[in-house]
Chains A and B, each alone.
Chain A
Amino acid sequence: MNIIHVLFRSSIGKKVTMAVSGFILFGFVVGHLSGNLQIFAHPDKINAYAHFLESLGPALWVIRLFLLVTLVVHVWLAAQLTIENKRARQKNYEKQVTLRATMASRYMRVSGVIVFVFIIYHLLHFTVRVTHGAEAYPTTILADGTPVRDVHSMMVLGFQNPVIAIFYLLSVGLLSWHLAHGLVSMFQSLGLRTRTWSRFLERVTIVVCVLYFLGNALIVVAAMSGKVRIQNPSVLGFACRTDCEVCGARTADATAETLDGSKESQS
């Protein structure tokens, strides 16, 4: 018996691994959302945050790799469990009623697969930045003069497309739904769900999932409806009407140059 066997071969081990990987991914999406919510602050806030993350360099890649491995493990095991579970009942019932399984739990595979597709698209959209033309990925300069990627405008631009916005809404909806079962389930799989607090846990989970969905939806809806606007003059094609120090300091050309340079060196 070794750790591989425990975590990837035994039935309970697999569920524990699902739970732990799920928990890590949950932690990530919560962190991700809280980062994204900075969109409601001054654009510099979120742009500086994104820049900070990018500037982590090797550490960023370690984190990315870790998250990627976690995701792959989560998805891989889900697939493996699905195959095993199908094999455990070769012949289905002619008639079977559902007694108490929640809808969320019964459609984990569907929600999981759609969310997985979404993640791939989302990475291509905002991380690899290949789904749109260059105009969708503008740059800007922070107040302290650092040239950075204009994540703020990128997001608003992205969600101004109704198809993408709806896809995002649907996906975070499904992810929330996925979590509605996943969160309680991970406590059960780890043996932490007990009668003393299972009811509480279920309620908290619903609250968390709803909040998570609302948080994400708020960003998308705010961008769609124009509540959050692009403030980058180079993206807007014109400078602010009123002169101010912030806008005055920004010259689109300078930013583009610097960033392009750094992009090349990175690749």
Chain B
Amino acid sequence: MKVTLRVWRQKDGNSEGNFEEYQTEGLNPNMSFLEMLDVVNEDLTLKGEDPIAFAHDCREGICGTCSCMIDGKPHGPENGITTCQTYMRSFKDGDLITVEPFRASGFPVQKDLITDRSAFDTIMQSGGFITARAGSCEDANALPIGKEVADLAMDAAACIGCGACVAACKNSSAMLFVSAKAGQLNLLPQGQPEKDKRVLNMVATMDEAGFGNCTNQYECSAACPKLISEEFISKLNRDYVSASVKKLFKAKSL
């Protein structure tokens, strides 16, 4: 099969970018989308042109590095998978495929299809953890956690930090990411002591990072390669309201 690619090329963060078209031929439908880009890049290299820079690593949908907007949808046409798990069989022979980087002020473009998603790390550093010093922990089974809660926490924990939620949201909101990260820890009994602080800090850091606001359209959830539910956003809102009220009234236990 063959397809025509319309790819965003941008030299670096300070340059203006533009679309370039590339013709590909002799593709195998069982190739992954990124393997198709590999082929294009081999050709470009041999032709003396600069290959297309794209972020990728594990190529099995778990590291969250790959991040292409393919034909207007983060990670491509299928649901619940990442760019690296998108296969050419999802496209038709002769298709024109538009490939763009994730676009958001919080994710500045570094080169071509690569963006800087370090804002997610900054958010995590402000509260996305449970303070547990190595060596100081009680026996793992001393704290039973019901299967439902553990499963729910796992649903949230499945987040791979790829940023598709931000990319899909028309407001570039990072709420699904933050809610998944905070939600996992807030659900678990171990996460309770730092719950309020976590929520307030993570939301404040998210706001500072230049992401937009949530409009409750749930495009994030639909674009999420792990299909994380927007329900975690609801939970984050609830936890935020509760934490704010407590903070406002300086509620303290005796």
Contact = CB atoms under 8 A, between A and B. Distances in A.
A165 interface: no
10 contacts: A12-B236, A12-B240, A81-B215, A87-B210, A89-B172, A101-B217, A185-B216, A191-B234, A193-B231, A198-B231
A188 B213 contact: no
Interface residues of B, number: 52
Interface in B202-245: 203-204, 206-207, 210-219, 221-223, 229-231, 233-241, 244
Interface of A: 1-3, 6, 9-16, 81, 84-85, 87-102, 105-106, 108, 181, 184-185, 187-195, 198
B17 to A, nearest CB: 9
Among A96, A184, A190, find the residue whose CB has the most chain B CB atoms closer than 10 A: A96
Given A191-B235, A191-B237, A181 B216 contact: yes
A94 B6 CA distance: 10
Contact of A95 (B100, B171, B218): B100
Contact of B105 (A15, A89, A99, A193): A89
Interface centre among A13, A81, A85, A184 (most CB of B within 10 A): A85
Contacts of A105: 215-217
A188 B100 contact: no
B203 A85 contact: no
A87 B248 CA distance: 29
Contact of A102 (B8, B172, B217, B229): B217
B229 A12 contact: no
Given A15-B237, A88-B171, A89-B104, A189 B216 contact: yes
A15 B219 contact: no
A100 B219 contact: yes
Interface of B: 6, 8, 19, 69, 71-73, 98, 100, 103-106, 168, 170-173, 175, 200, 203-204, 206-207, 210-219, 221-223, 229-231, 233-241, 244, 247-248
A96 B231 contact: no
A85 B105 contact: no
A10 B237 contact: no
B61 to A, nearest CB: 18
A241 B6 CA distance: 79
Contacts of A10: 203-204, 207, 240, 244
A112 to B, nearest CB: 12
A101 B230 CA distance: 12
A97 B73 CA distance: 6
A33 to B, nearest CB: 25
A93 B223 CA distance: 15
A94 B236 CA distance: 32
B207 A1 contact: no
B234 A6 contact: no
Given A88-B171, A93-B72, A101-B219, A194 B206 contact: no
